[in-house]
Structure 1
Amino acid sequence: MTFKRYKSMPLRWNSIHAKLLATYLVLIGLGTFLLGGYLLWSFYMFFMKMKQAELEIWTTNFTQDVTEAIRKNNIVKIDALVRRYGAPDTITLRIFSANGHLLATSAPDIDRQVKNWSDIPGMKIALSNQTVNGVAKGVLSDEDRLYTVRPIIENGRRVGIIRMSFTLGQFQRQFRSLWITILATVLLTFVLCAFISACLANSLAQPILAMRNFAVRLGNGHLGEKLNILRKDELGQLADELNRMSELLASVDRKRRTFLANVSHELRTPVSNVKVTLEALERGAISEPELCDRFIQTAQQEINRLSRLVQDLLYLGSVEAGVTPLEKQSVSIRSLINRAVQTMELRTFPLRLKIDNDIPDLQLQVDSERLLQALLNILENAIKYSRYPPKIAISGYIAGNQMLIKITDSGMGISQEDLSHIFEEFYRSDSSRHSEGTGLGLAISKRLVELHGGKITADSVVGQGTTITICLPIINE
């Protein structure tokens, strides 16, 4: 089942969509308005510096022309120079004497109303023989003007003062128009970026919301569904991992259900047999000694079978849960296999079964008791299904950084259909349906070998026998 790719949800202020969008909008708004403000400020400062430099150049050039006229007190020439350099609408030029009295001006109608020139911005500083630049209101108006006041120095002595000012009205009107243009551009940029951010936030938030909903459905038991998010970034990788987890959980759930069904089936048979036996004894079979002994023997066999099944289940559960960690130590594999063969002698002697052992003397880091249990389970299966003349061969060799142990029997073999399932819990092939055992031996062996970082495989030819191969890593410590 494929889970719906995106599930639309209302935008809430505490949702990741809203938080992402808010973050983008704040960053975009801050960035665009800071950039617009910086552009306006840079343009303003550039213009002011440019005009200030022009004023300084003009006053410098004018100083060279007017100095001689001031020294000779030629008011006519001074007035002619002021009228030539000054412009009534934009540039106002004033010439003062050394003590600050007005000698000539390009704006006589305004300047004749001024009583005290020392209060005009820049004049006091110029009277201390310092040049000053700045912005101030007009002499008798509220118009902003850029001004320069420069003392005229000759032979180290102040002979006069020049004050030139430039009106900023036209510039301010142009700057206001520019400010509106930049503001409109910034707002348009913000709107476009906000739209792009909303799309980006939605593209990031919707897959996350879809994965959240998918995880909730997994938690509610809808296992095996698939999340369809086609992305190649980290979100796509996370979606792939969620799909893999969903498949894994579905597989585990199927195995759990199968395991529970198998356990129920395996437990039902011995319990039913014991129940039937007890009922028969209760109905009067106990009064017949021969029948009573047979029923009691049957009940004991079923109870022993039930006991082995419970013990194997408990052992398998403890192995899979990792309750008892491996106690690894350096162990001789040859000695361990010899020990397993000796343990099975009581089973092999009555059958006159021969076990050939050709294992190299190699030390491995293993838990000897756990690995011995795995070997015993495999040998028990091999003995159980060996045919006449019974023979089991155990061989081993080193392949790279692995130790391979092969256990081959002379049994009837296993079909290819059954071979891929023999390590599953309670699985039995058709040829072993009526044999004794719990069906957990090879499953336990597989778990024990995997705990050692190895793997176990099986090869079989029907009518010739079966070979179980154990691969164990060689770890040099």
Structure 2
Amino acid sequence: MAQAIQALRSRTELTLEDILSIVSSPNYNVRRVEVLDPAGIPPEDLERLEADEIVHVGRGRFQGITTVLRFGDAYISIGLQTPRNLFQIWFSRLWNSIALYVAIAAALILALANKVVHPVLQLTAATQKVARGDFDVRIETVRNDEIGHLTRNFNQMVQELRTIEYLRKDFISNVSHELKTPLAAIQGYARLLQDDRLTVEERNEYAAVIAREAGRLANMSSAMLSLSRLESQNTVESTTEFSLDEQIRRSILVLEPQWDRKRILFDIELIPMRMRGNEELLQQAWLNILGNAVKFTPDGGRVKVRSRSVEGAWEITIRDHGIGISREDLPRVFEKFFQVDRTRAGEGSGLGLSLVKRIITLFRGSITMESTPGEGTTVTVVLPDDCGEEG
């Protein structure tokens, strides 16, 4: 600072007061001194002052150094502020630094809150909508962090819930429709039976219709309960080792009254097949598949049953020569309550193949169907030869 004062003195025509106002600083005590105390300054320093040199004079152990220089007939004293003022300056700077850091931290927290809290609030609001039954909610995101993954999983969950809700409504609609038909028949024929003018033959006929429709309701209820139980089941329980080929033969014998009445012949070529699984559950699938083959095969027709080993699995094919299935209906044959032949809608529940599909899936197998209208249908079932095996 002393050099700056000398430069201003030599290069400008500013007065001492003007220079002092320019170089004044809160850190230094810069003042004009009219008369120096010779007792506090060594003689050699006095001589240097007279030669316009800058002199540093000690002012005590705790007060530091004072710089003195001559300015015309006066002198300028430059020293640090008193210890109290220096502490105030230091504290002021510290406080300003803390305030700056707090402001920066607050800005960062606000930015972080906007980045983290806002998506969480969006998810909360969307979850509340889903809880109220709104499954059309979707949250757009381009984030690749944990919140982005959570958002995408949420969207996937809502999509699956929307599908389940659609299936539930469709199932209820189908159940209502399927139950309405037999109930209406039972109600109608029950009213007819109240007529005293009916003959014995008419009464017996109406009672038979009521009994048949009641049986259909019972079968439908049983099928729905079985399907509901199987859909909530993820593994095959109560597994035993059994002969798969013998099981298929027994299933054919169980259906003998139906195929014998229609004079249907079975052409059977089954290789020995051993497997582990729930024997009773799998037999339900064979009874449904073989029952459909018998139902849709004309009188005097033929049903072929074949099996072979394919890459560690058993492949069983059952082919009938019935009415066949159209290309439009084929993708829907495993849907609940779907029936290919509408003229025989009163003969089944429309749940048989849905049950079959679920059973085969539980056995970690697959079932496919090929058909040509007027020529027949081929059902192919593939089961792992270790299906149902524990471990």
Structure 1 residues 179 and 212, CA, compared in 2 at 3 Å: closer, same or farther?
A: same
Structure 1 residues 298 and 435, CA, compared in 2 at 3 Å: closer, same or farther?
A: closer
- Confirm whether residue 347 of structure 1 aligns to residue 258 of structure 2: yes
The correspondence of residues 71-470 of structure 1 with structure 2, limited to 5 A, is: 89-90=57-58, 138=61, 143=63, 184=96, 187-286=99-198, 288-322=199-233, 326-387=237-298, 390-431=301-342, 433-434=344-345, 436-470=347-381
Structure 1 residue aligned with 2:38: none
Percentage of matched positions with identical amino acids: 28
Q: Take 1:441 and 1:275, find their aligned partners in 2: how far apart are those partners? A: 26
Structure 1 residues 184 and 294, CA, compared in 2 at 3 Å: closer, same or farther?
A: same
The answer (yes or no) to whether the contact 2:285–2:359 under 8 Å persists in 1 is yes
Q: Take 2:222 and 2:235, find their aligned partners in 1: how far apart are those partners? A: 15
Q: Take 1:192 and 1:169, find their aligned partners in 2: how far apart are those partners? A: 32
The answer (yes or no) to whether the contact 1:207–1:229 under 8 Å persists in 2 is no
Q: Take 1:392 and 1:175, find their aligned partners in 2: how far apart are those partners? A: 106
**What secondary structure, in the 3-state scheme, does the structure 1 residue paired with 2:379 have?**
strand
TM-superposed deviation, 1:367? 0.4
TM-superposed deviation, 1:428? 1.2
The answer (yes or no) to whether the contact 2:302–2:321 under 8 Å persists in 1 is yes
TM-superposed deviation, 1:190? 4.3
TM-superposed deviation, 1:439? 0.8
TM-superposed deviation, 1:255? 1.5
The answer (yes or no) to whether the contact 1:332–1:363 under 8 Å persists in 2 is yes
How many corresponding residue pairs? 322
The answer (yes or no) to whether the contact 2:236–2:277 under 8 Å persists in 1 is no
Report the residue type matching 1:280 in the other structure. Answer: L
Q: Take 1:171 and 1:467, find their aligned partners in 2: how far apart are those partners? A: 106
The answer (yes or no) to whether the contact 2:266–2:305 under 8 Å persists in 1 is yes
Q: Take 2:271 and 2:115, find their aligned partners in 1: how far apart are those partners? A: 62
Q: Take 2:185 and 2:233, find their aligned partners in 1: how far apart are those partners? A: 34
Structure 1 residues 225 and 277, CA, compared in 2 at 3 Å: closer, same or farther?
A: same
**What secondary structure, in the 3-state scheme, does the structure 2 residue paired with 1:378 have?**
helix
Report the residue type matching 2:258 in the other structure. Answer: R
What TM-score results when the alignment is normalised by the length of structure 2?
0.72
Q: Take 2:277 and 2:384, find their aligned partners in 1: how far apart are those partners? A: 10
Q: Take 1:170 and 1:361, find their aligned partners in 2: how far apart are those partners? A: 108
**What secondary structure, in the 3-state scheme, does the structure 2 residue paired with 1:89 have?**
strand
C-alpha distance after superposition, 1:95-129 (max 9, x if no partner): xxxxxxxxxxxx9xx8xxxxxxxxxxxxxxxxxxx
Larger displacement relative to structure 2 (397-406 or 344-353):
397-406
Larger displacement relative to structure 2 (310-319 or 417-426):
310-319
C-alpha distance after superposition, 1:234-267 (max 9, x if no partner): 2222222222221221221222122222222222
Structure 1 residues 176 and 408, CA, compared in 2 at 3 Å: closer, same or farther?
A: farther
The answer (yes or no) to whether the contact 1:224–1:249 under 8 Å persists in 2 is no
Report the residue type matching 2:134 in the other structure. Answer: H
The answer (yes or no) to whether the contact 1:333–1:359 under 8 Å persists in 2 is no
C-alpha distance after superposition, 1:40-85 (max 9, x if no partner): xxxxxxxxxxxxxxxxxxxxxxxxxxxxxxxxxxxxxxxxxxxxxx
The answer (yes or no) to whether the contact 1:329–1:367 under 8 Å persists in 2 is yes
Q: Take 1:389 and 1:432, find their aligned partners in 2: how far apart are those partners? A: 21
**What secondary structure, in the 3-state scheme, does the structure 1 residue paired with 2:134 have?**
coil
Structure 1 residues 89 and 468, CA, compared in 2 at 3 Å: closer, same or farther?
A: farther
**What secondary structure, in the 3-state scheme, does the structure 1 residue paired with 2:309 have?**
strand
Structure 1 residues 267 and 177, CA, compared in 2 at 3 Å: closer, same or farther?
A: same
What TM-score results when the alignment is normalised by the length of structure 1?
0.60
RMSD: 3.3
Structure 1 residues 323 and 247, CA, compared in 2 at 3 Å: closer, same or farther?
A: closer
Q: Take 2:132 and 2:297, find their aligned partners in 1: how far apart are those partners? A: 49
Q: Take 1:430 and 1:310, find their aligned partners in 2: how far apart are those partners? A: 21
Q: Take 1:195 and 1:175, find their aligned partners in 2: how far apart are those partners? A: 30
TM-superposed deviation, 1:217? 0.9
The answer (yes or no) to whether the contact 2:262–2:299 under 8 Å persists in 1 is no
TM-superposed deviation, 1:441? 0.7
**What secondary structure, in the 3-state scheme, does the structure 2 residue paired with 1:232 have?**
coil
Q: Which runs of 5+ in 2 are unaligned?
A: 1-54, 66-78
C-alpha distance after superposition, 1:258-285 (max 9, x if no partner): 2222222222222221222221121224
Q: Take 1:310 and 1:88, find their aligned partners in 2: how far apart are those partners? A: 110
Q: Take 2:148 and 2:174, find their aligned partners in 1: how far apart are those partners? A: 39
The answer (yes or no) to whether the contact 1:402–1:474 under 8 Å persists in 2 is yes
Q: Take 2:275 and 2:81, find their aligned partners in 1: how far apart are those partners? A: 94
